Amino acid sequence: MISGLTLTTLVPATAAHASSSELPGEPSAPSDHAMGSQIKKHEHGSVVTNRVQSLTTDAEPEGIDVSSHDGNVDWPARASSGMSFAWVKATEGTSYKNPFFTSQYNGSQSAGLIRGAYHFALPSNSSGQAQATYFSDHGGGWSGDGYTLPGVVDLEYNPYGENACYGMSQTAMASWIRDFVSTYQERWGRAPMIYTSTSWWNMCVGSAASDITAVAPLWIARYSSTVGELPSGWDAWTAWQYSDTGYDHDRMAGTREGLEKFATNETATPRH
């Protein structure tokens, strides 16, 4: 069962991306999908090609998310450019591990960034419990050390086949996510974040997961100058992936102090 988690409202390195003939983040190996790769494919009309300026407030921390497609990242350069945090892909399904995970995860922390790990979910392949356990066993854990962000489950369009929702009903999808969130929360003492887009969530989950949205902070994907409508069940966002130029660029709601408190699970700082 998902326990309650109070959300207090406070309001150039060269990347080793896929070739130009491929959509960035598409796999060079089986199960090697980058965060947002399928959202870009299905919601390409909203993708921006230039870095958006003055998105919300200058005080909000900037960060990036990376995967194997980004290879060896120059983390000191990222820190010097103003990045405060990073999320690193750890796993996908129950068989894929990012071969660059250790260097990316440790390198970001060594450069002074607060970092976390994410899991690319394949809900039709195995249970939420199995994938949360695999993620937890291969880098997806959390601790209150002050420089580790909660793990993230990346929920987006099915990269295999035509059915965007993995052939699952909204009720079945909500049950899968509930399994993942509960398993992760029971192991680490806090719920994971959920990364998704409004279009995917409303189509594949809808209103079937109000208990999940009450405890899992939202990381919204929308490549634009505004966040726009939020997915069903959330009235605030905690992180926002707003650009895919170079590295994927993200913002956290709140301030650097709020980011540090979020890392230690003192508070979350969602923005309405």
Torsion-angle region of 165 (φ positive above 0: left; ψ -120 to 50: alpha; else: beta):
alpha
Q: How far is CA 162 from the centre of its chain?
A: 23
Task: Please enumerate in sequence order all residues whose Cβ is within 8 A of that of 227, keeping only pairs 6 or more positions apart, or say none.
Answer: 220, 237, 240, 271
Q: Which of 43, 65, 244, 248 is catalytic?
A: 65
Query: Residue 197's closest CA among 68, 56, 35?
Result: 35
Does residue 75 contact residue 66 with C-beta atoms inside 8 Å?
Answer: no
Q: How many CB atoms neighbour CB 3 within 10 A? A: 11
43 is catalytic: no
156 is catalytic: yes
Q: How far is Cα 7 from Cα 64, in angstroms, rounded to an integer?
A: 23
Q: Which residues pair with 194 in a beta bridge?
A: 153, 218
70 is catalytic: no
Reduced 3-state DSSP string for 204-265: HCCCCCHHHHCCCCEEEECCCCCCCCCCCCCCCECEEEEECCCCEEEEECCCHHHHHHHHCC
Q: How far is CA 96 from the centre of its chain?
A: 17
Dihedral (Cα; 18, 20, 22, 24), 10-degree rounding: 50
Q: Which of 26, 70, 92, 156 is catalytic?
A: 156
Q: How far is Cα 92 from Cα 30, in angstroms, rounded to an integer?
A: 10
Q: How far is Cα 184 from Cα 69, in angstroms, rounded to an integer?
A: 26
Q: Which of 60, 92, 154, 250 is catalytic?
A: 154
Q: How far is Cα 122 from Cα 15, in angstroms, rounded to an integer?
A: 26
Active site residues: 65, 154, 156
